[in-house]
Amino acid sequence: MKVEKKIQKVRNERGFSLIEVLITLAILSLSLATITALMVSNIQATSEAKNQIIAMGLAQEGVELVRNFKDREKTFRSTSPVRADGSDYSVDTTTTFADFLDDAISDKRLYLKELPGLNTVGGFYTHSSSGTVPTRFYRKMAILNGSGQVTVGAIVSWNPAAGVGFPEGNDLNKCTVANKCISIISVMPDVE
């Protein structure tokens, strides 16, 4: 009799039902899924911000390379024979005056030079694919002559879905961060 009372007492005590356990697990799973989605979104935003910063630096570097070249090369003026008709150019640290007399090369992709003896890639971005690693960035320069000045535009894109990475028809209005494109325009007066 005593044993029966103890068994009945144990049966009457309430615990968690299966439905309560399932609801708790569902809430916990939903919370973890939300946290994971937020973390993934944050990682993607950080990666995109990094690409924007690199692209802005590459655009500025392109303008500065042309500016330095213009300052060094006295024949590079608004009246010089440079193909300054809006032709696209690939400019890097090895660019010579003759490069501005020819049509632009077709490969606008930027490459990173490998550092010898290291397991990492770094150094300068270049348009030469020899001994380098391709990047997601494309850069081209447009040069227009004006009255006593040269206007230089740099377009950098990291959108491989847009052909070679640039907006259709070189329309700078379509060169937006949303389209993974950044442009900079600089006016450089002729200096005597």
Burial of 73 (C-beta count, 10 Å sphere; 0-12/13-18/19+)? middle
pLDDT tens digits, residue range 41-74? 999 999 899 989 989 988 898 888 888 877 877 7
- The per-residue pLDDT for 9 is 61
1-33: per-residue pLDDT in tens? 566 666 666 555 566 788 888 999 999 999 999
CA distances from 81 to 24, 61, 67, 101, 141 (A): 76, 24, 17, 7, 17
Burial annotation 53-65 (CB, 10 A radius, 16+ → b, else e): ebbeebbebbbeb
CB of 73 closer than 8 Å to CB of 91:
no
Residue 115 confidence (pLDDT) above 90? no
Asked whether 166 and 138 are in contact (CB, 8 A), the reply is: yes
Residue 118 confidence class, pLDDT cut points 50, 70, 90: very low
Least confident of 115-119, 129-133, 136-140, 173-177: 115-119
**The token pair that represents 178 in the structure block:** 């949303």
- Tell the residue number behind the tokens 């213009």, with chain if given: 70
Amino acid 120: pLDDT: 45
CA angle 153, 157, 154 (to 5 degrees): 10
pLDDT, tens only, 93-112:
666 655 655 545 556 667 66
At residue 40, the pLDDT reads 95
In the chain, % of residues over pLDDT 70: 58
pLDDT at 36 over 60: yes
User: What token pair was written down for 160?
Assistant: 């491989």
CA-to-CA distance for 132 and 94, rounded, in angstroms?
15
Instruction: Give the integer Cα–Cα distance in Å for 67 and 154.
Output: 12
114 pLDDT more than 70: no
pLDDT of residue 84: 47
Q: Which residues pair with 133 in a beta bridge?
A: 112
